[in-house]
Amino acid sequence: MDDELFLNERIKVVVVFGEGLNPCQPIKFRRANCREVTITEIGLRHPCLKGKRMMHIFDVTDGQADYRIEFDAERLNWTLTREADHQDA
């Protein structure tokens, strides 16, 4: 992600839960300004600890911009933490 905008924005996320290696797949999210973003691709995804809380980090894109969204497994909420314009190589 180049030219990143660092955020701390609560978002609402539509997620599909399934089985296998990727049991949680975010499909789309709604930002505080009511703009809805449909996820076209999930890049990296990984769990990490922030303090004692387990966070699940997803790098996603809608084809126009790249985003990092985080799921707090203890508080059960989602946060948009980064946004960057999509860079084609």
Instruction: Please name the residues in contact with 76: beta carbons below 8 A apart, sequence gap of 6 or more.
Output: none
- Total domain count, the chain: 1
Q: Render pLDDT for 18-32 as a digit per residue (tens, 0 to 9).
A: 888 778 999 999 999
In the numeric block, the tokens 């769990």 are attached to: 47
Tell me what pLDDT residue 77 has: 96
pLDDT, residue 2, reads 56
CA dist., res. 58 & res. 42, Å (int):
7
Once rounded to an integer, what is the mean pLDDT over residues 30-42?
96
pLDDT at residue number 89: 52
Instruction: Please indicate, yes or no, whether the overall pTM of this predicted structure exceeds 0.85.
Output: yes
Residue 66 belongs to domain spanning: 5-85
The pLDDT confidence band at residue 1, using thresholds 50, 70 and 90, is: very low
